[in-house]
Structure 1
Amino acid sequence: MKCTRTLKNLSLIAFSAIAIPYAAAQENTTTQDTSAWYGGLNVGQSRAKIDDASITNRLLTEGASAMSINNNDRDTGFKIFGGYQFNKNFSIESGYFDLGKFGYSATTTPPGTLNGSITLRGLNIDAIGFLPFTENFSGFGRLGLNYSQAKDSFSGSGLAAVASSDPGKHDLNYKVGMGLQYRLTQALAMRAEVERYRVDDAIGNKGDIDLYSIGLVYRFGEKTQMHAAVYRPAAPAPIPEPTPEVVVVINQPPAPPPPIKVVFAADSMFDFNRADMRSDGKRFLDEFSANLKSASFDLISVTGHTDRIGSHDYNMKLSTRRAEAVKSYLVEVAGIPSNKIDAKGVDGVDPVTKPEECKGNKVTKALIACLQPDRRVEVEVTGTKK
């Protein structure tokens, strides 16, 4: 086994995790009392660094060389511990640990074998510093001492024969570690941590054993502060003062006036079966335009109508041309913007006369005269009077 530079880094990190929270706890003496005794158990995997170079050198001193070396460098380890939590940042902890058994098997030239194993267990005492991240979750680092018992066992054949097969040794070394802790309940918490134990074997070698473990921690005698209940008679409910009645009057906006509709007889504005405007029709539109000067309007709708005589297509074209003629005059002469006038033709779909008033479908002078009210141009203005 041998020591690596990782040990120095791990030691510095663990010492910082202990020292910084402890200093903060000394400055803040008004924090909540979290002191308590606790105990726990961790189980995990232990890992050793077996020094194959030292084994090879030992064989060379005996006049042999190693052909192959097989290592058993992992085992199951555990620890049982107890401690006292002084505050939320600092505790002292001690316990018993068993790091498991490790070993190697080497074959040699000239033919022979060398087998070695070591078991490690002992006692420890650590100072632990906690760094709370939240109320229930914290990180921690540890720095302490371990008093370990190393029991070695060796066997060999050929030039690798051993004189002492079962040496043992007790020694005091340091240990470091870090981990995370999450409190499941007020009394029970879970830990996950990694620790490095500095150990000696029984033949003068030093090295490190790493223990990766998880476990549970139980706090004894949780302190619960009880507050005496003080009876105070309930104050009488205040008598509400009468709320004055508030009458809200909402001024409703006046209803918009109905649209202004003017109906011009088509026969008075256009010759029969024609869409060019007569002089009388222009005079009617001049009077209509003059009245618009005293009104504020949004849209003028011009709708041309025909009677039922004639085909649908012909009447649609005629009624549309008459509506467009009225629109053009209002734009060119009265100066009304084109986008404020909508012109369309609707054939004879909306007659003024009733079927019983003008009977028959044969085109006669009497039927043409009877259907005269249906031939019209309606101008509807949507707006208000100024």
Structure 2
Amino acid sequence: MKSLKKSVILLGLISIVSVSYADLPKPFDYKKASTNYVDNTSGGFGSIANPYFFGGSIGASEASSYCSGESNCEDTDTAWKIFGGYKFTDKLSVEGAYMNLGDIYKNGQNSDVSAFSAYGVGTLPVTEQFDVFGKVGATRWSSDNTDGSESGFGASFGVGAKMHINENTKLRAEWEKVLDVETSDSESSDINMLSVGVELSTF
């Protein structure tokens, strides 16, 4: 009888150990994993197939507070820019642009404003065909004024959206602001630009 009990207890212990072992994590098969590994990541540096991009946009500019209290004044004009940049990842890039911000005038004084801008750009993919982005940077502006030319540096930033037409072509719309541009009579204004354009990636 004692022998039977010992056998039953032994079988029970064997069963418990077998079940417990079956639930333990199996050793990782590094050889098999390395053979079947496929790199599907797209966020690492240097992982973008076509990292360089360029394009152009056209729209309108406005000088904030330039015409406050003035009747003989025009603070808006047609504006355009050309740009190019490099994508480190699908979410991070750098961008440079030349911006022609148009002419503004009041009381016989005229200012023709242009700028070179450099930005860091963060992009958020919303869908496979649609992205939104924000950017911040610095601008070297110049104004050719009736009473003399001025130039200087100012902060700049913007937001926008892109629609993918194909792998290498995107339509983009954006708003940008260049701070503290000096115009005629040593006045300073922030220049806003709304534009639409095309962005092309290298092939």
Normalised by the shorter chain, which TM-score bucket?
Answer: 0.7 to 0.9
The answer as to 2:197 corresponding to 1:211 is no
| Match in the other structure for 2:62 | 47
Amino acid at match of 2:198: L
Return the match for 2:145 from 121, 139, 152: 152
Query: How far apart are 1:95 and its partner, in Å?
Result: 1.7
| Match in the other structure for 2:182 | 200
Task: Classify 1:220/1:129 alpha carbon distance in 2 versus 1 (closer, same or farther; 3 Å).
Answer: same
Return the match for 1:30 from 29, 41, 46: 41
| Match in the other structure for 1:102 | 104
Amino acid at match of 1:37: Y
The answer as to 2:100 corresponding to 1:128 is no
* RMSD after superposition: 1.9
| Deviations 1:94-129 (CA, angstroms, capped at 9, x unpaired) | 021100001113xxxxxxxxx111110121101110
Query: How far apart are 1:73 and its partner, in Å?
Result: 1.4
Unaligned runs of 5+ residues in structure 2 are: 1-39
Query: How far apart are 1:169 and its partner, in Å?
Result: 0.8
CA–CA distance in structure 1, aligned partners of residues 114 and 161 of structure 2 = 24
Amino acid at match of 1:122: A
Amino acid at match of 1:167: G
3-state secondary structure, aligned to 1:31 = coil
Task: Classify 1:52/1:214 alpha carbon distance in 2 versus 1 (closer, same or farther; 3 Å).
Answer: closer
CA–CA distance in structure 2, aligned partners of residues 170 and 96 of structure 1 = 15
State, as a whole percentage, how many aligned pairs show the same letter. Answer: 26
CA–CA distance in structure 2, aligned partners of residues 99 and 51 of structure 1 = 14
Query: How far apart are 1:48 and its partner, in Å?
Result: 1.4
CA–CA distance in structure 2, aligned partners of residues 50 and 72 of structure 1 = 11
Query: How far apart are 1:204 and its partner, in Å?
Result: 3.0
Larger RCO, structure (CA 8 Å, separation 6 or more): 2
| Match in the other structure for 2:168 | 187
Post-superposition, which runs of at least 4 consecutive aligned residues in structure 1 deviate over 3 A?
50-53
Query: Is this contact kept in 2: 1:190–1:214, CA < 8 A?
Result: yes
The answer as to 2:71 corresponding to 1:69 is yes
Task: Classify 1:117/1:202 alpha carbon distance in 2 versus 1 (closer, same or farther; 3 Å).
Answer: closer
Task: Classify 1:102/1:202 alpha carbon distance in 2 versus 1 (closer, same or farther; 3 Å).
Answer: closer
Amino acid at match of 2:142: Q
CA–CA distance in structure 2, aligned partners of residues 178 and 214 of structure 1 = 12
Q: Comparing both structures, which one devotes a greater share of its residues to helix?
A: 1
CA–CA distance in structure 1, aligned partners of residues 131 and 79 of structure 2 = 24
Return the match for 2:151 from 147, 170, 173: 170
Amino acid at match of 2:71: I
CA–CA distance in structure 2, aligned partners of residues 117 and 179 of structure 1 = 30
Q: TM-score normalized by structure 2?
A: 0.73
3-state secondary structure, aligned to 2:136 = strand
Query: Is this contact kept in 2: 1:147–1:172, CA < 8 A?
Result: yes
Query: Is this contact kept in 2: 1:50–1:71, CA < 8 A?
Result: no
Query: How far apart are 1:71 and its partner, in Å?
Result: 1.5
Return the match for 1:88 from 81, 87, 90: 90
Query: Is this contact kept in 2: 1:167–1:203, CA < 8 A?
Result: no
In terms of Rg, which structure is larger? 1
CA–CA distance in structure 2, aligned partners of residues 31 and 88 of structure 1 = 7
CA–CA distance in structure 2, aligned partners of residues 42 and 75 of structure 1 = 14
Amino acid at match of 1:41: G
Note the 1:336-375 alignment, pairs <5 A: none
3-state secondary structure, aligned to 2:186 = coil
Note the 1:232-381 alignment, pairs <5 A: none
Task: Classify 1:74/1:136 alpha carbon distance in 2 versus 1 (closer, same or farther; 3 Å).
Answer: same
Kindly tell me the number of residue pairs found equivalent between the two proteins.
159
